[in-house]
Amino acid sequence: MPSRRSALTLLAGGSAALVLGAAPTAHAHGPRLPFGRYGSPSRRLDAATLYVDARGRGDHTGVQAAVDAATGTGRTLVIAPGTYRETVDIPADRTGLTLIGASGDPHDTVIVYANANGTPRPDGSGTYGTSGSATITARPDGLTAHGLTFANDWLRADHPEYTGTQAVAIKVQGDRSAFYGCRFLGHQDTLYADSLALTAFARQYYRDCYVEGDVDFVFGRATAVLDRCHFRTLTRTDLGAKPYGFVFAPSTAGANPHGYLVQRSRVTSTAPDGYFKLARPWVPSSDLTAHPMLTVRDSHLGAGIDTDEPYGTMSAGFPWQEQRFAEYRNTGPGARVTIPANRPRLTASQARLHTPAAWLGDWRPYA
């Protein structure tokens, strides 16, 4: 049975910086330059910038403490390399907040915790639930993150008695939220791309990011563009048959014309060929009018995707065939069309309407 430490190290690709319990390192910048080109408390870039370093060389040793101090709008947190084992809750009034991993390499700076849906709350008030399990909850509009890893290293194998095994790495709810070169590590429900309310069509953009997991590991009701991202499906030792899980589980509000748009991306797998499905629709009990939407286009789908039945149904009464699922010009063994009825595809004219510009409107984080 893998320990939490070995599991996170494995998920991180073996980077020594991610061995839990080890002292954070400054890596290539050296011990006196934990913030690299972003200054320091003694030579601050501007009054709106705060510095986080677990070794005490910044304004704060923890990310939540820095968030608490970053009142107002347009603040920047520069986070030194290290592993920050904590939960972080970013209030909605921290609009325009920017989070920067100082080294530029997301392997170096990790925010991680280990709560699951079924984890009991310390005050005895019940369990955390899916949303409460999130290592990071990001509510503000205009949030931007660069070069960071967001992780939840809770493991099913450590708690076989749990039935609530969702364990969110990050829940993003704000409009105009953008992530560049970030990593999202977990198993079930890794990246919760959501909104603050059913009527809030939060726009989000993820570019050059890495996301891994097994069950529904990109899910929620946001209007999200995932551009040039790598999605990695993980093998499971607790199951003896397929499917092991699903990459996407959108819960798009029925009134929202845009759900998830995945483009120029790739899906790879550590599991046997055909053991994962590309998506299934999530129609939550809180919104039975949801009409999940997903477009995957111009992407490479590896052999881990089940080509005969690439989509599944989560809840009876809401079959995937009645949702807004489509593909366009995908390649790779997982994109092979074996049963045309199970592979809805856009025409060229329809595809011209499935673009970042159509999804994001007057907000252009990709420009």
Q: Which of 238, 328, 241, 228 is nearest to 276 (CA)?
A: 241
Q: Which of 74, 70, 73, 79 is nearest to 99 (CA)?
A: 79
Active site residue 108: no
Q: Where are the alpha helices (DSSP H) in 12-128?
A: 63-69
Q: Is residue 36 within 8 Å of residue 29, measured between CB atoms? A: yes
Enumerate the β-bridge partners of residue 245: 276
Burial 164-174 (b: 16+ CB within 10 A, else e): bbbbbbbbbbb
Measure the CA dihedral 228/64/169/164, to 10°: -160
Catalytic residue among 189, 194, 214, 306: 189
Q: DSSP code of 40?
A: B
Catalytic residue among 108, 141, 216, 227: 216
- Please classify residue 23 by burial: count the beta carbons closer than 10 Å to its beta carbon, then call 0-12 exposed, 13-18 middle and 19+ buried: exposed
Omega before 284 cis (within 30°)?
Answer: no
Q: Which of 138, 198, 210 is nearest to 174 (CA)?
A: 138
In 3-state terms the chain splits into helix, strand, coil percentages (rounded to 5) of 15, 30, 55
Residues 6+ apart with CB under 8 A from 227: 205, 206, 207, 208, 263, 264, 265, 356, 366
How many angstroms separate the first and last alpha carbons of the chain? 46
Active site residue 298: no
Active site residues: 189, 216
